[in-house]
Amino acid sequence: MKLVLATGNRGKVREFREMCEAEVIPYKELTGELEIVEDGESFAQNALIKARTIFEALDEEAIVIADDSGISLPILDGAPGIYSARYAGEGASDKENLYKLIDALKTKGLRETPAYYTAAIAVVSSKGEYVVHGWMHGTAIDEARGDKGFGYDPMFIPEGYALTLGELDDAVKKAISHRAKAMALAKPIIEMLQRK
Ligand code: IMP
């Protein structure tokens, strides 16, 4: 059965291919561009919205996989959370979002504060719908260090490390990330649906 991914992001497509040890197809190759309104109130709801929209647009049997992720700071009541990709406004760049969050810390007079990343992965098929989560806890700091990773990584120090994800090797992030943890939980679900 076809595995269809609800993203065009090349990095994500590669990560999912490696995880599933199978061919995964970016949805646009099958349905063309779709308008997906991510108006859920949680990562799980938004991942499900993406997966369901694509599942319904397909004219063949498939397993659709979607993810939604972001960073949350308890001191900011969980912001930017589900709005991480557009924290500095619709169409904002990763850098603009990063520096807006750094400014939010500075405004509070904080050098550092607890933070965590969340990833929700939704799997939708004719056999049912599933959602799993992964988290990575750590500390957000008031400056950007290093240029590895993406998004908020230069200001995030994972628990147990002294460097930011912008400075640490990609292999470290791959081993401990919210997405890797969620993927490890999604994998047996996808395999079970493929066997059914
Ligand atoms: P989406 O899951 O593709 O909607 O992306 C959510 C947003 O959360 C991204 O644009 C980033 O700003 C942020 N984000 C999610 N995961 C990560 C990560 O692993 N590192 C840095 N930023 C992330």
Q: Is 154 in the pocket of ligand 1 (CB under 6 A)?
A: no
| Pocket perturbation via mutation, ligand 1, pick of 84, 94, 121 by most ligand atoms within 8 A of CB | 84
Q: What is the pLDDT of residues 149-189, one digit of tens each?
A: 899 999 999 999 999 999 999 899 989 999 999 999 999 99
Residue 133 reports pLDDT greater than 90: yes
Q: What is the pLDDT of residues 22-49, one digit of tens each?
A: 789 999 999 999 999 999 999 999 999 9
Categorize the per-residue pLDDT at 13 as very low, low, confident or very high, splitting at 50, 70 and 90. Answer: confident
Residue 11 reports pLDDT greater than 90: no
pLDDT of residue 137: 98
Task: Report the atom number in ligand 1 closest to the C-alpha of 70.
Answer: 8
Q: Which residues contact 158 (CB under 8 A, 6 or more apart)?
A: 136, 137, 138, 165, 168, 172, 173, 176
Q: Is 84 in the pocket of ligand 1 (CB under 6 A)?
A: yes
Given a contact cutoff of 8 angstroms between Cβ atoms, the answer to whether 75 and 113 are in contact is: yes
**Choice between 123 and 14, residue whose per-residue pLDDT is larger:** 123
Q: What's the alpha-carbon Rg for the chain, to the nearest Å?
A: 17
Categorize the per-residue pLDDT at 12 as very low, low, confident or very high, splitting at 50, 70 and 90. Answer: confident
Q: Is 15 in the pocket of ligand 1 (CB under 6 A)?
A: no
Cα(22) to ligand 1 centroid in Å equals 24
Mapping DSSP to helix (H, G, I), strand (E, B) and coil, where does residue 187 land?
Answer: helix
Cα(58) to ligand 1 centroid in Å equals 26
Token pair in block for residue 55: 């599942």
Categorize the per-residue pLDDT at 15 as very low, low, confident or very high, splitting at 50, 70 and 90. Answer: confident
Given a contact cutoff of 8 angstroms between Cβ atoms, the answer to whether 129 and 172 are in contact is: no
CA distance 168 to 175: 12
Q: What is the pLDDT of residues 106-128, one digit of tens each?
A: 999 999 999 999 999 999 999 99
Helix axes 178-195, 10-20, angle to 10 degrees: 50
Average pLDDT along the chain: 94
Closest residue CA from atom 23 of ligand 1: 151
CA distance 68 to 2: 21
Omega prior to 80 cis, within 30 of 0? yes
Q: What is the mean pLDDT of residues 52-63?
A: 95
Domain boundaries 2-195, corresponding CATH code: 3.90.950.10
Residue matched to tokens 């996808």 = 190
Give the pTM. Answer: 0.94
Closest residue CA from atom 4 of ligand 1: 68
* Known catalytic residue at 68: yes
How many CA within 13 A on the CB side of residue 13?
A: 14
Q: Kindly list the distances between the CA atom of residue 148 and the CA atoms of 122, 130, 137, 186, in Å, as whole numbers in the listed order.
A: 27, 32, 18, 26
Candidate list 67, 68, 103, 170, residue with the active-site label = 68
Q: What is the mean pLDDT of residues 78-98?
A: 96
